[in-house]
Structures are given as C-alpha cells and as structure tokens.
Structure 1
Amino acid sequence: MWRLVRPERGWLVEDVVMGLGIGLALAVPGHVLAVVVGVPALGIALPLLVGASVLAVPAARARVLSRRCEPLPWLWGAATSVSALLPALGAWDAWAQRLDVRGWTVQYVDLPYHSALAHAVSERFPPHYPQVAAERLTYHWFAHAWTAQVSAVSDTGVDQLLWRFNPALLAVVVPLATAVVAVRITGRAWAGPAAAAVAFLLLDVRPWGVSGLSNPLASPMSPTQQFGLLVLLTLLAVLVLRWRGEVGARASLPVLLLLLVVTGGSKGSMLPVLVAGAVAAAGVLLLVRRRDALRVVGADALLAGVTLLVLNRLMFGGGDGGVSLDLGADYVATRSPGLLGREVELGSALGVLVLVLATLPLVLALLGGLALAVDRGTRTDPVTWLLLGGGVAGVGAVVALTHPGGSQGYFYKAAEPLLALAGVWGTVVLWERAGARPRLVLAGVVTGPVALQATLLAFDHGRAPGAGGALLSVAALLALVAAGAYAASRASGAGRAGFVATAALALLAAGVVPTAHAVAEWERPTAITSDRPIPTGINGTDIRVLRWLHDHSERGDLVATNKHCLGRVADPCDRRRFFIGAYSGRGVVIEGWTYNRRVAPLYPDYGTAQFRDDQFWDQDLLALNDGFLTAPGAEGAAALWDLGVRWLVVWRDAPHAADLAPYAEKVRSGRTLDVYRLTPAG
C-alpha cells in the first residue's frame, strides 16, 4: 500500500516503517469486521484482500513493482536507532510488570485497564466499557483493536502483546518513522537521525536544572500514544507527498482517509493537532495566493476537520473527556513550584514570568524551526505551516487546557514530532544558507551541551532556582551559546548566517545534557511483589482462576462482582478496579467505574478515581448487582440473567452472602475469590 502511494524514489526502511503504519491502520477495520461477523479469520483476511486487490489491478501492480529502493548512508540506521534509547529504557517499566505472578503483586494501575479494553473490543460491536458493560465505550480504542487483532491471528495473550511485544517493537519503529518522514520533508538523508534525536532525546533545554525524562515520547505505559504516533507519522508523510504533488491526490485519497480515521481513533489528542496544522497551512496559502497548492491543502484540511467532528460524535460521544479551558492557570500552578519553590497564580507578575520561563526553553530549542517562517524557500511551503501550526497548537493546548489527570499533556506529545521535524528542517536550511560548512555543525554540537552544562554548574539551582536565578540562567546560556556561535562563524568566514545557524544547532544539541543526566540516574524498575496480602494488589492464584473463567465462558457472557474499589472497600474509594475484565476477558456489570464519560463532569471536583457509591449514575443497577450478591433471591437472579450475566466473581474481602445457592453454583476458588455459575432456575 505504501509503494502504491510513494514516488518512484524511496528507501527500504521507509517501505517497511510506513508500510507498518498502514498495516496497523488496516488491522482496525479488519478486527471490527471479524467481531461483527463473528469469524476471527477475517481479522487477517481484510488486510490480505486489500493487498491482493492492489496487485490484481495491472496499473497498480506495475506501480508497486516499479518503485526503486535507493541506499541510505551506511551509518544511517545505527545513528537513528540511538534515538530509541529513552523509549527502550521506558520499556523496562512495562517489562517490569509481572505476567506470571506468584504471591501478590501491585501493577501499574492502568495495566489491567488497557488489557480489559483489548478484550472488550473483541466481545461485541460497538464495544462497551469492560468494567460497566451497559455503557458504550467512548474512548480511543483503535490501538486496543490492533492488539486484539494481533492476539487473534497469532494466538498470543493480550498482556504479552501490551507489555512485552508492543513496547519492544514501537520503541524502535517510532523513531525510525520520525527519521524517514524527516528525509521526505527535507530531502537530506542526515536530517532523519537528527530529527529522531531531537524528538526522543533533545527537546528539553532547561538552563536552571535537569528536568527528568522519565516519560519519553514513545512511552510504553501509554499503548494508545505509541500506536497513535506511528499512524500519525505515516499520515504526515502522505500529506507531505500530496501537498508537494509527488503523488496523485486522487490515487492516494483512500490511504489518506484510512489514516485520518485511524489517527483520530487511536488517541484523542492526535488529530486535533494535525487539523490545526492543516488549517494553518491552508490559511497561509490563501494569504499568499498560492492557488496551485490551496486546492489540495484546503480539501485535506476540510476532510481532516470533518473526520475529527464525526469521530468526536460517534466514537467519543460528543464529550470533552474532562478536559476544560483554563487559560494557563493550571499550567502556571503546576510549574511554579519547580521554578520558584512555591505555587503562584497566573494573575500575578510572578505567574506571568513562570508562564514565559516554562515555555521559553522550547522556543529557544526551536530557533531553527522559526526560521522556516521567514526563509524565502520555505515560508510558502504548506508543510512548513503544517509543522509549525500543529506544534504551536500542541503547546497551546497544554498551556490553555486542564484535566484532573494531566491528560492535556498528550496534545504536546502529539506535537513533539512536528516540532522536532520543524526544528531540524529549519536548522538544515540555516546551515546551508551559511555555506554548508561542516565546522559549523561541529561547533554547534559542541557549544550547546558545553554551554548548558557550564550554566548548570555555575548556578547549581537544583529544582527551584527562583525568578532571578532562572532569568540569570537563561541569560548565561544565551551568552555562552552566542559566544561560541560568534567564534565559529568568524573562524569559518560564514558571517551572520553562520552565527544564526550555529546558535540554532547549539540550542537543539544542548538537550543532550538533561538526557545524559536522565540516563545516568536511571535505575531498572522492579516489580512490586510480596508473600503477604497487598490491599491494592492481586494474587497470582486469583489471576489464574480468572483466566480459567475466560477459557470456560462464552464471548458475550457477563460477570457480576461484589467489589468496586481498587483497595479496601470504603466510601468513597479508588474506583480504578479492572482485574476481572483484564484477566477473564469478559464484560462486568459493574467493577471499577472511573475513566467513563458519565463521571467525566465530576473530574474537576473529585479527580479521576475517588468517588462515592451514590455518585454512580444507575443506582437501580448498583442495587440489583450488590443486592443479589449480599442477599440472593430468585427475582435478582432472573434480572441478572436477563442482563446477560452468566458468572459471578465474589471477593471474600467485600460484602457477600455466605451461600448463593440455589441461584448459583460455585465452580472455582482462588486465594481471595470464588467463581460461581449463575443458575436462576435454582
């Protein structure tokens, strides 16, 4: 499919990585078709049929076979793979999660949730929340559909894919995808490794102290983020080819539409950033009267916007997911302690200063990207404004929006590859304007890290430098970078252009300092296990019993349970309990009930986890569920049966009846739970 839409000239690594992005996108409708029809084999049949259909058409087959693969520099792959360092270290967070549990273990709280979602999208269509089976799923679930599709066709457990295979694969592939898109955009081979390095290693220039990069761009602890980035980058490559006339707009339209839909459904923050960039590109073309490109760019921007609106309505239920407009107050409140040692309000002079200082390092790092807006060769290129517009939108969303769980940060995560591509492309343009002197590159690569490290050593601020200290640090960094850039430009005879090019590269390269500190301080995480009960954990024997339930139940069977709190039963309590959906793979009448559009309006007041029983939106259903498990009767058993309940999981540390007979038969017991088969006739 990728060779069908790309120009004749290309590279094998591009075919593999971009083809994988399209393959991930094709897996989603393939899995949906398999679930709707009830034939699992269709999950792999659809992608194969698409490929066979392309090859069956003589013109398409000739185009695919005629695509040439040119060599890249022999160190290109090794240089790009270095950018997978932080994502690979981050993958240890996932690999540390125990899958073969002995005794008790505490897992990352969202691990069972994502496992439950991957099972839920295989149960029925449209999918429903696994922990509240009556509620239609209004969540970006396409990454889970891909995981479920791979699980079905490879007979591999969902948890093995989510926390072993996927992190290992995407930690390497997403940096490679960033690199090949950079080569497409700039036409320079070495812009690829540079863009990957900036996106995953260097986009963090903090002159007042090290801000740890414990959450790298391709974080395995967010499966939707990893999946979404790869599809987003593939979509970005298609847009670049379409907008520059390197591929037929009509021929590439099916691939464009597929990628737009899957990008929007992979992570709710991805498509809005891209739409902002596309609208910015169309607006600039309208202003400069570039009608030759406006037709395609405007049509694509409109198509992307319509796709976003349709997905928001059909997939996300038209809700806001708990995100609200904040206009910088939360941004300042969360960053002021790190800068000033105390929290300040946006309305104060110090608050405004924090707003500027917290954003300034990113602006400095993207000096090269800003050059794209003024350079004669790039300022009317729509790709320039796609990258800059999307990047500014991602940063602006973090500043202007708020969410109790900090989820507005994912808009910036979606924008980071765009910002990195713009920064590297602009720096390359500046370097070539200066005469493409290799000594300028060497000077910039050395000057930036030396200047930042010297600043950190001179001021030794730690985590809270204060307003004066932060300003002095910025001034010192800029002075050192300027001195190094001036010396390099004078020595090479490159003049003003050489000075700007060296300074831009130095500010990008300075990010290696916090990265080096983060790597040096990194420690391999260890799984939290114990022989003693852990209130928020789960026992390995109970996990195996729930997996037994998966093997001995039918798709569509529902489970009723008596525990809705992650830890000890209380009111209010942490409602992030997803164990039954994760390990049995079956929907639950009510298990934990946060992360739900029904409770999203409560997030600003109560957060995303702690809720009371009386805040559950269907009190009759809660009374039926808990009432039967504490005082079983024929009426309750019949009502649960009519809902589709066939199994009961009773946790012994939560309220329950001593005996559920004759309405349910105990069939299995674990360390802290019992599994019953519902028999309403008694």
Structure 2
Amino acid sequence: MALAPPESALAGPRVPSGRLGSGWVPAGVVCVGAVVVFLCCGVSVRDLTVFAAYIGIGVALPGTLLWRAFTGGGSSPAEDIAAGLALGYAVEVLAYLPARAAGVPLLVLVSPVAVIGTFACVPRLRRHWRGAVAGERMPVWCAWALAAVVGFLIAWSALALYGVPVTSAYVDMPYHLALVGEVRHHLPPTLPTVLGERLAYHWFVYAEMAATSWVTGIEPVTLVYRLSTLPMTAAMVVLVAVLGRRLGGRWWAGVASVGVTYLLVSPALRDGVEFTSRSMFTAWASPTQTFGALLFAPVVLLLVGGRRAWVVLGVLLAALIGAKATYLPLLLAGLLAVPAVRGVVERRLRAEWVVPAGLTAACLVVAHFVVFGQGAQGTAFAPFATMRTQWAGAGVALGVLTAVHLFCLACVWGGVAALGRRALDPPMLLLLGMGGAGVGAAVLLGHPSQSQLYFLEGVRPYLSVAAVCGVVSGPAGRRARWAVPACVAGAGAALLAEGFEVPGGPLTRVVVPYLVLGAGALLVWRRGFALVMVALLGGYAVPTSVREVIGRVVPADVVRVPSIPEGARAAGRWLRDHSSPGDVVATDLHCRPVRWPACDSRHFWVSGFSERRVLVEGWAYAESTLSRTELFGASYLMVPFADPGRLAANDAVFARPSAENVRHLAQKYGVKWLFTGINHRLDKFAQLRFRNATSSVYELSQT
C-alpha cells in the first residue's frame, strides 16, 4: 500500500517567475505587517532586527540545511523553511541544555556556526543551500491564503496580547516569564515560585526563549509577551498546509486543512454552552503547546511521506520529551494503529512502523521518569470529566452529553466519514489513530483546569487533514453537487436551532437542538449521501465559527484592570541587576488582586521580573498543589499551600517583623532579599535597598 499519493498527483501548476507572481510577496507583506504591529506595541527596532537575524540565521538556516541534507528536502521551499525552523529550534534547545549546565550559555552558538560552516565548506553539501532544483513552488493564491491566516493570527494577538500592557495581560503570562528566568540561570530547573519544588512541566520552550535572550540581549519579557511565539505559529500554518497538500494531492486541500484547523469550531447553540473542539487560539497563552505542535508536525510529515530520516526523527522526538510530552502518547497510539490494522489486512507486520513506535515509547518513558519525575500535574483517569465539568449534576445524562460532544466534533471533522477504504492507508491510519487517542483522552481523562483538552487540541490539525482528504476522496458527481446547498442549509438550521426555545429543564433545552440536527445528518448519511452529510455537518458549525473568527479581531469594549502594580517591573529589574542568580527572595505577595473566596495563588510576577527563586510566591501550578486537588470538588485555586510551616514563617516576617523572624528566615531557608509593597515596619530589621511608589526591596544579613 502506498504511503503517499503518487508523484504525478503531487505535480502542481507552475508559478510565474515574475516578482508579482512569487509566493515571497505575500510572505513579505505579512512580515511588514508584523513589524508594524510590533513597533506600534512598543518593541524597539533594535530588538526586532536582532530577533529576526537570530531566528533567521541562527535557527531557521541551519535547521533548513540539516532538513534538506537528511531528508532530501521537501516538495517546496516553504516546506523546507518551515520544517527547517522546527528542526532548528530542536537543535537549539538540545544544544542550550549542556551549554547552560556548563555555565556558558553562549555556547549554544556553536551548533549553528558549525552547521553553516560545514555546509559552506564541504563541496557536496553546498547544493543544499539551493534546495531541490525540481522542487514544486507553492501557487501564489495558496501563499496569499496562508498569509491571510497568519495575518489574522497576528491581528488577534495584537488585540489580545501585543497591544495590552504587561500589567494587564493574560493571567498566565507572568508564569511563563518566571520559567524563562529560571531556565535562563539554572539547570536542572525547579519551580521558581516555590523554592525546592520540582518543575514537573514541559519547559523546553522556555529554554528556547532563554537561549534567544542570551544570544540577542533581548529582555525575556519582550520575548514572552511579544516576539517568540509568532515564528512558531506562522511555520505551523505552513506545515499544516504542506501535510494537507501531500495527502490530499492538491494545494486547495492544504489550504482547506488550514481553514478547518484554525477557523472551524464546534457549533454552540446556546450562549455560554460549548461542547468544544478546542480551537488553536493558544498561540501565546500556551507557548508549550505552540512549541510542541511545531516540533511534532515535521515528525508526522516524515512518517506519512515514507522517509525514515532517523537522525532528524530522533532529534525532534528528543526535543518533544521536554517541549510537550502530550504528543508522545498521541503519536504512539497512531503508530500502533498502523501495524495493528495493516497486520490484519496484509497478514504481516511491517517493521517500518514498529521501529518508530519503539523509539516513541522510549521517549515517553524518559519524559515520565526524568522530565516529570512520575508526576501527573493533576491529570487522572476520570471518564466524562469534561462533560461533568460542563454540566455538573447531570448524573445519568452523562452518556447523552458525551454523545452531543462527539456530534459537535463530527461537525468539524465529519469528512473522516467519507474516507471509505482510504481510511486503511497507513498515513490515514496514523492520523486517525492519533485523532482517536486525542478524542479518547478528552473523554476519559480529567484535570483540575481542564488540561485534558490539550490532547484534543494536539490532534486537531491531523483530524482536519484527514477530514479534508475524505472530501477529496469522495465521488464527484450529481450527489456531490448538493454539497454547497447542504452547507448553506446546515448553517440555516443551526441558526434556527439557536433561536428555538425548547420547553423543559436546562439540560433538555441544550441537548434537544443538537439531537434534532444530528438526526438530520444521520438521515442524509443513511441515504448514502456521504459528502452531502459532511457539508451539512460543516454548515452547522459555520455560524459559530464566523462569530468566533470575527470576534477575535474586533476590538472589545473591555476595561482591563491592572493586576500588577506599575512599579513592580522596575523593582524586579533592580533586584535582578543587584543580586546573584542563586539568591533566594521572600515575599508576602501570594494572591492575585481579584475577588475570590480564597487566595487565587496564580501570582508569579515577583519571580518573573526578578528572575530569582522565591521561597513562596504562587503555588497554583505546583505539582504539590495539583496532586492534592480533587476532581469535581473545590477549585485548585482553593487548595492551600502544601507546607503551612514554611508559609507561616515567611509571612510572619512581613506581618510581624522582628529581628528573630528575619534571622530565622535567613538562616533556615537562605533568604537574602525581601520583596514587598510599602511596609515601613521592616525598615528596622532589614536594609532597604530599593523603593518606589508600589514596591520595596530589602536585603538581609546572612549572619
């Protein structure tokens, strides 16, 4: 069975050689737009220039050269550059780890210098600077379509993050900043906001940002809040299109795959009620997910293309261990599905799938025992946890809610049902195996903050590609002509369902409209109109998707209340510049200034701005907190700190300052600095070193 469409199917239209007919024009337009956005949002020309130079020359260029050398290159320059950027990131992180451990982080530059120098000096490697001579170029219309998607993501990010003051940004941004500071100075890292707590988390993306900061001199806050995730996001868009093109055989299939991945979401027929298909709008909110998604995409490209470039595959999987280990069990499920099904069909076992499965399993073991220390960060086997969280108290209706959720997923990826016998092809089995594992994890696992849905988000691009391939594989004829009217009819039916009030309880009012729409799709399916059913399901999702897409780029009339004091950043920077990376800081700032029955301990900016380890700051994301949180009970934000004695000794210094309390903190816990608000009572027992309108920094004597 062929692993990919025949080469003749991959031949696409030639692109005019003129400048206006070049795919570089839309790429250039996007770059100019990004530059304008960043400049308007406070990024300096110097930082933009240095960042672009480092990512282009220090990461993407060596990665592209290595990708071409080990894999033979992709079918288009766009694929080589996007996959090369992913490989370059993986090499950068794996080079930074020993460099940081040796205390010389700038040694990370050895790898790009060595790669570029080797490919420049070795005659037989120089051809990889040009790429494949007969390579296919992306059609101009396709390049513009992908540029539009990237431009949309830039506009959304500008409204939601880039243009928002650091003091008012998304709640998790200081946490990401704190982890960059930790990996910038320490290896192995620990949780910087709780001294000595193991960092059982995906942290390689923070190593990438730390490496970039060391090389370029750019402040971590600029990288986290502005620059770093955009190249990852843009490259991921290209790789989804390339995968759709490769398996669909046409460039429009690649563009459609991107559209389904980023723009099509589950129908929400009632306000505030969402049976989610987990959108990709986590580009900056979850940099670990964004980084892991980018590293994972070339792995899938290699596997579905039949090219076993073992060195590249090993490097990418090794980087995934700490980038986003969520992808490893998903990949393993897909790799096991291929030989399991093909073994039944062909009655023999293919080693070409068993070997990467074994390599993936080994990486998964390393991730579990080495990176996460056997911690689960609160993830547990809890069937229907997503539904129970959405509709607490539904009880016996959990099965119905699960069916509705699966129906909503079918509205996005219903094209899978039209694959027919092509679903037995190894590439499709890989995608469907991963997709089934992602959906299964969302249904069977639970997490205090719904993080089990990242499994679903992780497989979203690959289910989208499979769904588009189902449409491509469908029969062309009289029945297919009904697809567009069916999509329009589906959109209209969804709008009617949204406005139709069903008598009964809240559960009935939510479930009945979905059941009616599902019955209509099932009727069409039973009559043999597979493509029409797919179009109908997609139509159901159109109204919600349009509102979601437009809503992301329409300025919202929202008053953003600062959660970080204006002087906090200056105080943190002073502390960083006048202390050593090994110094320990104590603070009485543990709770965010929001209304909450208990302490919302997602407080991380002291560590984030100072790049120093804190005795106790915020503990919400600590393994010791999440592991003690009971699912379906009180929020993890209600869980108190795991070590009450330490917290009491810490807070006593600020609430009841005395020479004895200060001495105890310094001698027992090694605290050297105090970071607080305005507390004049501390002036008698510690040396005031910095003060502004909102923050104070004190130094403690170690004797």
Please report the TM-score for the alignment, with normalisation by the length of structure 1.
0.83
Residues 1:344 and 2:389 aligned together: no
Give how far 1:270 is off: 2.2
Partner of 1:669: 691
Q: SS of 2:251's equivalent? A: coil
Residues 1:658 and 2:645 aligned together: no
Instruction: Please point out which of 241, 249, 259 is paired with 1:179.
Output: 241
Q: SS of 1:666's equivalent? A: strand
CA distance in 1, matches of 2:254, 2:408: 23
Partner of 1:217: 280
Residues 1:36 and 2:58 aligned together: no
Residues 1:562 and 2:601 aligned together: no
Q: SS of 1:609's equivalent? A: helix
Q: SS of 1:648's equivalent? A: strand
- Give the direction of change, closer, same or farther, for the CA distance of 1:580–1:299 in structure 2 (3 Å limit): same
CA distance in 2, matches of 1:29, 1:230: 16
Q: SS of 1:114's equivalent? A: helix
Counterparts of 1:152-231 in structure 2, within 5 Å, are: 152-205=214-267, 211=274, 216-219=279-282, 220-231=284-295
Give how far 1:527 is off: 7.4
Q: SS of 1:511's equivalent? A: helix
RMSD of the alignment, in Å? Answer: 3.2
Residues 1:46 and 2:111 aligned together: yes
Partner of 1:539: 565
CA distance in 2, matches of 1:302, 1:43: 30
Residues 1:386 and 2:430 aligned together: yes
Is contact 2:650-2:665 (8 Å) kept? no
The superposition leaves residues 577-600 of structure 1 with CA deviations (integer Å, 9 ceiling, x where unpaired) of 112111111111211122111122
- More deviation in 315-324 or 546-555? 546-555
Aligned residue identity for 1:304: T
- Give the direction of change, closer, same or farther, for the CA distance of 1:76–1:594 in structure 2 (3 Å limit): same
Partner of 2:531: 501
The superposition leaves residues 196-216 of structure 1 with CA deviations (integer Å, 9 ceiling, x where unpaired) of 111111242457789598973
Aligned residue identity for 1:74: V
Give how far 1:362 is off: 1.9
Is contact 1:86-1:200 (8 Å) kept? no
The superposition leaves residues 242-274 of structure 1 with CA deviations (integer Å, 9 ceiling, x where unpaired) of xx2xx3x3xx21211121122232224222212
The superposition leaves residues 371-392 of structure 1 with CA deviations (integer Å, 9 ceiling, x where unpaired) of 44x41xx344322111101101
The superposition leaves residues 190-235 of structure 1 with CA deviations (integer Å, 9 ceiling, x where unpaired) of 2110111111112424577895989731422111121121111122
Is contact 1:201-1:512 (8 Å) kept? no
Give how far 1:624 is off: 4.5
Please report the TM-score for the alignment, with normalisation by the length of structure 2.
0.81
Partner of 1:19: 84
The superposition leaves residues 104-130 of structure 1 with CA deviations (integer Å, 9 ceiling, x where unpaired) of x54422111111011111121001111
Partner of 2:369: 313
Counterparts of 1:603-642 in structure 2, within 5 Å, are: 603-604=629-630, 605-612=633-640, 615-617=641-643, 619-629=644-654, 630-633=656-659, 637=663, 640=666
Q: SS of 1:190's equivalent? A: helix
Aligned residue identity for 1:281: V
Give how far 1:544 is off: 1.3
Counterparts of 1:249-264 in structure 2, within 5 Å, are: 249=308, 252-264=309-321
Instruction: Please point out which of 460, 463, 470 is paired with 2:499.
Output: 460
Partner of 1:362: 409
Give how far 1:295 is off: 0.9
Q: SS of 1:540's equivalent? A: coil
Give how far 1:469 is off: 3.3
CA distance in 2, matches of 1:397, 1:658: 51
Give how far 1:504 is off: 2.9
The superposition leaves residues 557-579 of structure 1 with CA deviations (integer Å, 9 ceiling, x where unpaired) of 22122332223899952222112
Partner of 1:519: 549
CA distance in 1, matches of 2:123, 2:333: 38
Q: SS of 2:105's equivalent? A: coil
Partner of 2:338: 281
Counterparts of 1:323-342 in structure 2, within 5 Å, are: 323-328=379-384, 330-336=385-391
The superposition leaves residues 269-305 of structure 1 with CA deviations (integer Å, 9 ceiling, x where unpaired) of 22221221112123223323475x8212101011111
- Give the direction of change, closer, same or farther, for the CA distance of 1:571–1:429 in structure 2 (3 Å limit): closer
The superposition leaves residues 611-663 of structure 1 with CA deviations (integer Å, 9 ceiling, x where unpaired) of 33xx423x55445434445444379548636855332213347xx943353xx
Partner of 1:493: none
Is contact 1:203-1:420 (8 Å) kept? no
Residues 1:401 and 2:445 aligned together: yes
**Structure with the greater relative contact order (CA < 8 A, sep ≥ 6): 1 or 2?**
1
Counterparts of 1:424-463 in structure 2, within 5 Å, are: 424-430=468-474, 434-435=475-476, 443-457=482-496, 460-461=499-500
Partner of 2:16: none
Aligned residue identity for 2:547: H
CA distance in 1, matches of 2:494, 2:615: 57
Partner of 1:93: 160
Aligned residue identity for 2:330: V
Residues 1:10 and 2:69 aligned together: no
CA distance in 1, matches of 2:122, 2:423: 40
CA distance in 2, matches of 1:54, 1:506: 52
The runs of 5 or more residues in structure 1 that have no matched partner are: 100-104, 338-342, 487-495
The runs of 5 or more residues in structure 2 that have no matched partner are: 1-65
Is contact 2:265-2:276 (8 Å) kept? no
Partner of 2:519: 475
Partner of 2:35: none
